[in-house]
Structure 1
Amino acid sequence: MAGDGSKRQLVIIGGAEDKEGDCQILREFVRRSGGTKARIVIMTAATELPRDVGENYIRVFERLGAEEVRIVDTETREDASSSTALEAVRKATGIFFTGGDQARITSILKDTELDAAIHKRFSEGAVIGGTSAGAAVMPDVMIVEGDSETNPRIEIVDMGPGMAFLPGVVIDQHFSQRGRLGRLISALAQQPAVLGFGIDENTAMVVTDSQIEVIGEGSVTIVDESEVIHSNVEEILRDEPLAICGARLHILPHGYKFDLKTRKPILNGQQSMANAPVAAQPANA
């Protein structure tokens, strides 16, 4: 059950998730947060329309059967020390960050009492979810903004501190819809992370401890730079093209899994590719 501290769970959504039909992704968030006993807090720091956005999610989560759904609206850093907000988070089994502007989330929440309370609940087993901007803030260093549909160059992306729920990676959202592969590679080149995740719209990567499962109608694109044999990042100026040689690319649709520790996809639901048997080679004629 959510809150028992046995697992750390994240539901990281690429944006534009279904809110009218079966709501597969939001349904999974509610289920993991405790189902009909879920107590969900909606964090609206990212949006300039907190009431409209928050009430839309209240409608969905209540329709899916959550026991209690509350909005925590923080327009200023002072709001992040509100006793009402802190109490709501301390009781929550699921905490959901809406879309908007990821820089608003960190500028308002990072290193506040509310930030500490959210991380404490996460460590105790509360599920953290986020969509679009709410997905971008999951790493310790995040993409603040950047250009889409372009080749990789340092200048096309700005990085900044994230909320550190999933350290050591880079996450981008609306991925295939906005052509953001160049942006993700440029972000990876700027900081020590070796894994980049690009999440399509109406698609999520569900993280349980060190294992990821993809759900939804699109894919998660994974760029692994752990075995890169050459990069020109130390030699070029900000507006010059990046060269990356030896990176690995994985594209995982619904139902596929990935192991963060081995940095390998998991096949047959049981083993990572690192341990998968090699197919027999045909004998020479």
Structure 2
Amino acid sequence: MTDETRAFRTRLEELTHEAKENGNRISVQQVREKLKDTGIDETKLQMVCSYLDMMSVEVYDEDMPEAASGAGDEHVRSLEHYLDELAALPQMDEVEELTLFHMAAEGHEEARARLTERYLQTVCDLAGEIEARETGKDPENRLPAGAERLNLEGEFTAEDLVQEGNVGLLMALENLQHQESLAAYRAVLLNEVTSYLEGVVEAQKAERKSDQRILNRMNQLADASHDLEQELDRKPSLEELSAYLDLPAEEIQDLLRVGGEKLKADDL
């Protein structure tokens, strides 16, 4: 994932969060301001607004008069409700889809918005497959022996994966290049979205692995500090902990800061 893509994804997450805090409403001006450092143009702005609309976020213009009532009501949305709405969307024939792909590759924003709507269900399916694989919920889709499973429970929900997949869909359509056939367009789009989702999951795994390593080190440090204190009948110094654990003093200091513990000045 490039720095540009990561920045865009972060800003889109922040926009969605801000909208939820404001009754699932956000202004065009807020969207433009939030994305100004990601190189946003009018085409990308329209795509983001279309994406937010698909997520049941009302995007309004601050310069236009407000509706009389009900604008700020909290809108509760479940994944099941979202899927039901997607199932009710009109179908698209292959001729229309191919035409839209060609137009999208030329930068036509309305075509990109239509294709975004067309592939939202596909994103949900991909997110479901990845969740099932990583959590081991699907007995027909097992990981190789010894492979690490991602525990999404309470950390990375199905809704999170769908939202991430929708961001990947937006990015894939924005960068779409001309292809020779509908099958080629579909393959490129699905590969891009799948790759994006896989990258998100791998980044989550790496972050969790790093957090677990730090936690293990902190526990090791706490045990060592306790053992040395019992042995020396006083609080151990930084140098003594460093020698006992065979770790650099700088790393121990970092762990102490993270753990909120401090060595007494006269022990150093």
TM-score of the aligned structures, taking structure 2 as reference length: 0.29
Q: What TM-score do you get using the length of structure 1 for normalisation?
A: 0.28
If you compute each CA radius of gyration, which structure gives the higher value, 1 or 2? 2
* Higher share of residues assigned helix: 2
